[in-house]
Amino acid sequence: MREGNLDAFEVIKPGLLTTVQDLGRIGYQRYGVPTSGAMDQTALRAANLLLDNGEGFAGLEATADGPALRALTDVVVAIVGADMGPLVDGQPVACGTAIRIRRGKMLEFQRARRGLRAYLAVAGGIDVPVMLGSRSTCLPAAFGGFQGRAVRQGDRLPLGFVGHQPQAVSGRRLPSGWLEPIGEVLTVRVVLGLQEDRFTPDGIRAFLSELYRFTPQMDRMGARLQGPPIAHRSSADIVSDSTPLGAVQVAADGQPMILLADHQTTGGYTKIAVLVQEDVFRLGQAVPGQIVRFRHISLSEACAVRKTYHERFDALRRVWQSRPGVPDRYRLRLGAGSYRVGVEDGSATYRVSVEGVKRESDDAEQQ
């Protein structure tokens, strides 16, 4: 990935838990390797798209209380997800916006005011070694990402494609309302299974009608919930089998657990349901005390939800392809004159119109 020898940031303060993540390590669960990846992949994908990065470029995932980073070169970044009140040299900057940061400037995150995880994407990505097809940090096995761990003070995060510095996207914003904050009660959609038959009708009814609350026992592996018990027909134990992302396990106490990004690949508790992926990513922003309601949908409905989810990203790309980040107004200097001009994107040059007179220029100076 790397073309050059530049570092993007030096870690001045690591924050509570800041790791390098991409979209995960796919295809290795059969060997006991968790997928890992960003807990809120929606936020990371959107941050990368803001910068014209590939959606799977590696970025930083900051949890609850974010890091402080010093820019070691001029960079363009985007911050999406939890509101951690980001500052550049003490001045507030907007989330969901492509921001240019000059070398030597300090980017600081504060404690999350809404949500739990913020994602920092850098134009060109963060360049750490690819391990089993991914740059994600797998904390349970201590590999991948930056030396298999959360970042520490003094770490220097290498920049990916050094030549990939899209200054034109600076100032580009996510459309208003594109990422909706979690409300007081979060409804998540589930498909029943894989051991639905191991629960009583009353247990299934409770699961789909009662409210459950996130306990403080939550991390990147999973989250325990508390609420009315979900009754089993007999034992909660099964012969260990595969555990997909978003599976809802129910132990003997009748309380549900949702498996998240670093979840184990097999497990011996009954699974009453599996969340749709989009809602798993929304849970990446949930905090202890968050109230959750489970809503049953069919498999065909889940497939339609997945299709709609990816179509949202297709639509976002089209918005920025049809309205590139390049401003449509420039200041053009011709001799002693200075003119404000409109710009049309041509195949090799900019075609500009100056007071109704067509001129060709390769040297329009951005205003």
Of 41-55, 81-95, 332-346, least confident by mean pLDDT is 332-346
Please give the pLDDT value at position 166.
Answer: 58
Residue 43's φ and ψ, nearest 5 degrees, are: -65, -45
Q: E strands of 94-140, at which residues? A: 98-101, 106-108, 114-122
Of 118-122, 181-185, 201-205, least confident by mean pLDDT is 181-185
Helices (H), the chain: 41-50, 201-209, 277-283, 299-322
Count of C-beta atoms within a 10 Å radius of residue 315: 11
Question: Which residues are within 8 A (CB) of 263 and not within 5 positions of it... i.e. 6 or more apart?
Answer: 34, 221, 222, 243, 245, 247
Answer for the pair 29, 179: CB distance below 8 angstroms, yes or no: no
Look at the block and give the residue holding tokens 């990939």: 164
Look at the block and give the residue holding tokens 């890091």: 67
Average pLDDT over residues 224-233: 97
Q: What percentage of the chain has pLDDT greater than the value 70?
A: 84
Q: How far apart are CA 247 and CA 309, in angstroms?
A: 19
C-alpha dihedral over 192, 195, 201, 204, to 10 degrees? -50
Please give the pLDDT value at position 352.
Answer: 45
Answer for the pair 122, 80: CB distance below 8 angstroms, yes or no: no
Q: Per the structure block, which two tokens stand in for 158?
A: 């290498």
Count of C-beta atoms within a 10 Å radius of residue 66: 29
Q: How far apart are CA 134 and CA 259, in angstroms?
A: 20
Q: Residue 193 corresponds to which amino acid?
A: G
**Per-residue pLDDT for 89 more than 90?**
yes
Candidates 283, 78, 89, 95; CA nearest to 186 is: 283
**Per-residue pLDDT for 355 more than 50?**
no
Q: Per the structure block, which two tokens stand in for 176?
A: 């208003």
Residues in the chain: 367
This prediction has a pTM of 0.85
Of 17-31, 159-173, 308-322, 326-340, least confident by mean pLDDT is 326-340
Candidates 286, 289, 281; CA nearest to 261 is: 281
Answer for the pair 117, 77: CB distance below 8 angstroms, yes or no: no
Candidates 220, 223, 201; CA nearest to 212 is: 223
Question: Which residues are within 8 A (CB) of 336 and not within 5 positions of it... i.e. 6 or more apart?
Answer: none
Q: How far apart are CA 110 and CA 118, in angstroms?
A: 10
**Per-residue pLDDT for 77 more than 80?**
yes
Look at the block and give the residue holding tokens 């870690």: 11
Give tens-digit pLDDT for 130-150: 999 999 999 999 999 999 999
How far the first Cα of the chain sits from its last, in Å, is 33
Give tens-digit pLDDT for 283-320: 999 999 999 999 999 999 999 999 999 999 999 888 87
Q: Give the pLDDT band of residue 167 (cuts 50, 70, 90).
A: low
CATH domain 185-314 topology: Cyclophilin (2.40.100)
